[in-house]
Amino acid sequence: MDKSSKISIKINGEEKEYEEDVVNPHEKVEEKTEFQWVLPTPDGLGKKVIVLDDVKKKKNPKKKPKMKKEKRKIPFFLNNSSYKSIIISIISASLIGLCFGFVFLSIFKQSKSEQQSPDVVTVAPTQVQMNIPAISFDLAQVGMFKNMDSAQKNVEEIAEQGYEAVIYEKNEAFFVVIALSGKESTFLKDEVKKKLDSAYLKEESIGGGEYTGPKQSVEMYKAEIETFAFILSYLTSNNFNNEKQLEQINSTLLILNNQKDLIKNQQLLTGLKHLQNIEKELTNSEGKSLNQVTQNVQKDVLGLFKLLKEQKNTLTN
């Protein structure tokens, strides 16, 4: 049952009654869902209505959901891609080329190994026996000893006087010599004996007898002895600066030099080197005296003599 109360108010002598409804506390009061402000305007009238909810909506607009970007496919993986066909072609060509390369490499190695290791046929050098005439010349000897140690000491002593001596062996004795010249030369008397009176001048020879060994070695030994004799003949007052004789020495050394590849005997190859050094000095002797040139070639003349003198009658290749 609704309860109500009446209130009586007298205004300007007139009495008016007002009835006030009593609200049941258990009844729900209707709430207004919307609150509005009326903003004043210059003329005092409110014209524009701003709704508070609209302001909140503007302040907090709804965020649009992010759209996932679709990943773009690389053209290579597309079925109709031109890149794919090009790269596949390149890879195929490379593989084919690599295969052919291995094939040709194996063929080349096989052919090269066949060329490097042919069937070697060893041919024994032809053995010959040859008589080589002896040649004679003069030596300036400064000592004769029974052992090499004593001879070596003598070489050191004579070196202090400015001479380069060599030692050669003969009949189990060791001889020390400091100079050599042809029998028609006056070099030993004019230059050596006058400076070193203790020097003993004597005759010596090389060659003479039968020599056996490979054909190339025996022929080279004979040629070196003959050239040695020809050089000693050139170093005399009668033949020095003879152009024809010098040309003959040059041509002989050229032939021997062309045959050196066939020689394995180290003594003969060293002898050829001495001959070449002598030839070089003779060719460049312009403006020099006979004794000067003879002195300049003494080292190689003595070295060649020692090798030819100590060469055994049986030569090796």
The pLDDT tens digits of the residues spanning 165-207 come to 999 999 999 999 999 999 999 999 999 999 999 999 999 999 9
Is 0.75 topped by the overall pTM? Answer: no
pLDDT category, 315, cuts 50, 70, 90?
confident
For residues 140 and 179, is the Cβ–Cβ distance under 8 A? yes
E strands, the chain, are 4-11, 14-21, 36-38, 49-51, 127-131, 135-145, 166-170, 173-181, 200-206, 210-214
H or E stretch covering 85: helix 82-116
Top pLDDT among 77 and 166 is at: 166
CATH numbers and ranges of domains, the chain? 132-310 (3.30.70.1070)
Measured between its terminal Cα atoms, the distance across the chain in Å is 155
| β partners of residue 6 | 19
Question: What are the structure tokens assigned to 186, written together?
Answer: 């006056």
pLDDT category, 29, cuts 50, 70, 90?
very low
pLDDT category, 88, cuts 50, 70, 90?
confident
Question: What are the structure tokens assigned to 194, written together?
Answer: 């006058």
For residues 265 and 220, is the Cβ–Cβ distance under 8 A? yes
| pLDDT value of residue 103 | 59
249 vs 252: CA distance, rounded Å: 5
